[in-house]
Structures are given as C-alpha cells and as structure tokens.
Amino acid sequence: MAFFSNAGINRLAAHFSLHQFAWSISGAFFATFLLRNGMSPAGVLLCIAAVLGLRFTLRPCVLVTAAHIGLRSSLIVGTLLYACQILALAIASSSRAGLVFYIAVSALSDVFYWTCYHAFFAALGDAENRGAQLGARALFATLATALGPGIGGVLLSHFGPWMAFDTGAAIEVVAIVPLLRVPEPAISLQPWRQAFDAAREGVILFSTDGVITCALVFTWDMASFLAFDQRFDILGAVLSAAALAGQSAACSLVASLMQDIPGARSASMPGFSPGLSFSKPCAWAPQWR
C-alpha cells in the first residue's frame, strides 16, 4: 500500500503529527495570547515580521550544523528549540526582554525545524508515491490539528497559560522519539546558484504559502478572537472546526493521490478555495484600534 510502504516516512509522519498536535495546543494561540495581554494587532504583526526577518539572517546556521552533525540530529535540535519556543511564549508578554527572547527563539526554531523537516521528507520519500505519502501525512496531521486547538483553548481558559504551554512543550519533546529510528539521509553540498536553480519552483510555491499565512491566517485568528469576546475556549473550538472543514482528510488524500497521476497535478488547485472562505468571518470582527 503506497500510503505506508516506507517505514522511514511513516515514522516521520508520526513525528510530524505529534509536532502539529503540540503546536495546535499551545503555539497556535501565540497571536491571540499576545492580544489578550495588551498588544495591539499591529504590534503582533510586527512581531511576526521580526521573526520572519530574523529567519533570513539565521538560515545559514542550519546549513553549517546539518553538514557537521547530520540532518536527523539537526531536526532533533529544531524540535527541542520548538519546545523552548512554546515555553517562551508564556513570558513573551511580561516584558520587552521576554518578547525579544521569544522572537529570537521562534526564528531559530523555525529555521532549524522546517528547513530540516522538508529536506528530510524529500530525501526519504519515494518520487513515484510522493502524493500518496503526502496524503497519509495530511490525514494524521489534520486529526492532530483538529483536536489540538479545542484542548488548548480549554487549558488556556480554565488552567492558565503555563498548563497549556507546558503540555504543548512536553508533547513536542515526545515527538523526538519517532525520529530516533529514522535513517539518516546523505547530504550533498552544492554551489548556492545551482541549488537555487534546482529549487526555483519550490521557492515560488512557498512564497504563495507565506503570503496566505501572513495575510490571512494570522489576521483571521485575531479577528475571530476579538469577535468571540477574547475567549480562548471558543476560539479553540472554532479553529478545530475550521481545521476539519478547510483541511478535510478525505480531500487531502484524494488530491494527493491525483498528484501521482501524470497530468493531474492541477487537482491541488481546489486547495485555494477554503482559504478564500476564511476571509468572510473577518468581517464580523469588531473594529481594530
């Protein structure tokens, strides 16, 4: 069965599902948590811009590290840094130093984790079954993303931020376990121009992902939070429902399988339609000041 035929990809998918679960319980609330603690929407967006800008500066660090300790160990480092990022969110609103620390740890964890994870998945995956393997990953990640916000919203509302963030950080650390048995892929260093030419289409694709995430997802979270009287439990329930509606596991599997059929990759285009529908609830939010 193409979905589960690669043991390394299966373990990587298990790791990613735990990572998504941890992030959905805790880190996914970072914009609304800062809002709740007195930061303006413009201030939150500036923090996001600072994280993204710092990521460009720190990106070479992961290339040097991966070349010395390997891609798997670098991904484990990124996972540990993500646990630190989740914990740092609890102090991000307490002082300027706490906010600066959160921004720095967020940028470093993003650089290590996502750079290594995407390279890892591409290296371990099978080109002829890429769509099926992406679909299997999406199936479990969607379940984690649907469960996490509801749990996180309840923890934040009734037990406080430290309980929610400690829980998320603990799950993030547990996500390292599946990585311990994943084979180490070989790394071949290439001149930067040759590497960029090979990844040009991927760069363009990820730029659209960045625009959607920054311009829509973060603002949608904040608008919904304000519309629901700044209640984390309601926001968590809404995010869980949105994950099920916008990232249907069945749709992900079908679209991913069609990517393995020559000439059928345009099937991924319907994925843009859920994003367009997310803009409607923003109109219900109170006027931002």
Alpha carbon separation from 175 to 19, 225, 271 (Å, rounded):
6, 29, 28
Question: Does the global pTM surpass 0.85?
Answer: no
Fold of 2-284: Growth Hormone; Chain: A; (1.20.1250)
Which residues, 6 or more positions from 129, have their beta carbon under 8 angstroms from its beta carbon? 2, 5, 6, 260
Q: Which of 178, 152, 164 is nearest to 243 (CA)?
A: 152
* pLDDT recorded at residue 262: 53
* pLDDT recorded at residue 128: 64
* pLDDT recorded at residue 186: 75
Q: Which helix (H) or strand (E) holds 137?
A: helix 130-158
* pLDDT recorded at residue 270: 43
| One pLDDT digit (tens) per residue for the chain, 289 residues | 455 667 778 888 899 999 999 999 999 899 999 999 999 999 999 999 999 899 989 988 898 898 889 999 999 999 999 999 999 999 998 888 999 999 999 999 999 999 999 888 888 866 666 666 676 677 777 888 889 999 999 999 999 999 999 999 999 999 999 999 988 887 776 676 776 777 777 777 777 777 777 777 788 889 999 999 999 999 999 988 887 776 554 455 455 444 445 554 444 444 444 443 333 333 333 444 4
Report helix angle 232-246 to 130-158, nearest 10: 170
Q: Which of 69, 73, 101 is nearest to 85 (CA)?
A: 101
What ranges do the domains of the chain cover?
A: 2-284
Query: How many angstroms separate the first and last alpha carbons of the chain?
Result: 54
* pLDDT recorded at residue 165: 96
